[in-house]
Structure 1
Amino acid sequence: MEIQAINFEELRKYESFSSVAEMDKSIYEYIEFIRFDVPQSVIDVLLYLGRASLRCVGLSFMKQATIAKGTGYSRKTINKALKMLEAFGIVDSVRTKTKAGRPSVKIMRILPFCLELLHQRVTSYQVDEANGSIGLTLIEDFEPIIYESKKHLKEEDKQAANKDNIDDMSINELDSSFIPSTIVDKDFIQTARPFFGSAKIFKLWGIVKNVMKQAKLEAVTNDVIESVKESFKTTVFMYKADRIRSSFENYFFGVLSSMLGAAKRREVMSNGEGIFYNWLEE
Structure 2
Amino acid sequence: MTTFAAINLKELKEHESFKSLEEMDKSIYQYIDHIRHDVPQSVIDVLLCLGRASLRCIGLSFMKQSTMGNMTGYSRNTINKALKTLESLGIVDSVRTQTKSGRPSVKVMRILPFCLETLHQKITSTESNKPNGDNELNLIDEFEPILTESKKHLKEDSIQDNIDEIPFEQLDYSFTPKNIVDEAFIRTAKPFFSAAKIFELWGIVKNVMKQRKLKIVSKDVIENVNVAFKTTVFMYKANRIKKSFKNYFFGVLDSMLATVKRKEAIENGMNDIVFYNWLN
Equivalents in 2 of 1:22, 1:121: separation in Å?
A: 22
Quote how far apart the aligned CAs of 1:8 are: 0.7
- Bigger relative contact order, structure 1 or 2 (CA pairs below 8 A, ≥6 apart): 1
Secondary structure at the counterpart of residue 108 of structure 2: strand
Equivalents in 2 of 1:93, 1:29: separation in Å?
A: 20
Find the counterpart in structure 1 of residue 187 from structure 2.
221
Question: CA contact under 8 A between 1:68 and 1:78: conserved in structure 2?
Answer: yes
Name which of 141, 144, 150 aligns with 1:137.
Answer: 150
Identity of aligned residues (%): 52
Secondary structure at the counterpart of residue 44 of structure 1: helix
Task: Please tell me the residue identity of whatever aligns with 1:77.
Answer: T
Could you say if the C-alpha distance between residues 268 and 129 of structure 1 is closer, same or farther in structure 2, counting changes exceeding 3 Å?
A: same
Q: Are 1:115 and 2:116 counterparts?
A: yes
* CA deviation vs aligned residue, 1:124-179 (integer Å, no higher than 9, x gap): 4664323989996223357xxxxxxxxxxxxxxxxxxxxxxxxxxxxxxxxxxxxx
Task: Please tell me the residue identity of whatever aligns with 2:95.
Answer: V
Question: CA contact under 8 A between 1:91 and 1:108: conserved in structure 2?
Answer: yes
Could you say if the C-alpha distance between residues 219 and 18 of structure 1 is closer, same or farther in structure 2, counting changes exceeding 3 Å?
A: same
Q: Are 1:128 and 2:131 counterparts?
A: yes
Task: Please tell me the residue identity of whatever aligns with 1:140.
Answer: L
* CA deviation vs aligned residue, 1:74-112 (integer Å, no higher than 9, x gap): 011000000000111110001011111111110000001
Find the counterpart in structure 2 of residue 23 from structure 1.
24
Q: TM-score, normalised by structure 1?
A: 0.53
Q: TM-score, normalised by structure 2?
A: 0.53
Quote how far apart the aligned CAs of 1:11 are: 0.3
Task: Please tell me the residue identity of whatever aligns with 1:12.
Answer: K
Find the counterpart in structure 1 of residue 98 from structure 2.
97
Question: CA contact under 8 A between 2:8 and 2:98: conserved in structure 1?
Answer: yes
Secondary structure at the counterpart of residue 18 of structure 2: coil
**Aligned pairs, how many?**
178
Equivalents in 2 of 1:126, 1:268: separation in Å?
A: 32
For the pair shown, the structure with the greater C-alpha radius of gyration is 1
Task: Please tell me the residue identity of whatever aligns with 1:33.
Answer: H
Find the counterpart in structure 2 of residue 49 from structure 1.
50
* CA deviation vs aligned residue, 1:230-257 (integer Å, no higher than 9, x gap): 99xxxxxxxxxxxxxxxxxxxxxxxxxx
Could you say if the C-alpha distance between residues 269 and 114 of structure 1 is closer, same or farther in structure 2, counting changes exceeding 3 Å?
A: farther
Equivalents in 2 of 1:271, 1:80: separation in Å?
A: 30
Could you say if the C-alpha distance between residues 189 and 13 of structure 1 is closer, same or farther in structure 2, counting changes exceeding 3 Å?
A: same
Quote how far apart the aligned CAs of 1:272 are: 8.3
| RMSD after superposition | 3.9
Task: Please tell me the residue identity of whatever aligns with 1:95.
Answer: R
Task: Please tell me the residue identity of whatever aligns with 1:228.
Answer: A
Question: CA contact under 8 A between 2:174 and 2:195: conserved in structure 1?
Answer: no
Question: CA contact under 8 A between 1:20 and 1:57: conserved in structure 2?
Answer: yes
For structure 1, the residue ranges without an aligned partner over 5 or more in a row are 143-184, 191-201, 210-217, 232-266, 277-282
Q: Which deviates more, 122-131 or 19-28?
A: 122-131
Question: CA contact under 8 A between 1:7 and 1:98: conserved in structure 2?
Answer: yes
Find the counterpart in structure 2 of residue 274 from structure 1.
237
Equivalents in 2 of 1:272, 1:45: separation in Å?
A: 23
Question: CA contact under 8 A between 2:21 and 2:58: conserved in structure 1?
Answer: yes
Question: CA contact under 8 A between 1:268 and 1:274: conserved in structure 2?
Answer: no
Find the counterpart in structure 1 of residue 214 from structure 2.
none
- 1:218-257 matched pairs, under 5 angstroms: 219-221=185-187, 224=190, 227-228=194-195
For structure 2, the residue ranges without an aligned partner over 5 or more in a row are 135-140, 157-172, 199-229, 240-280
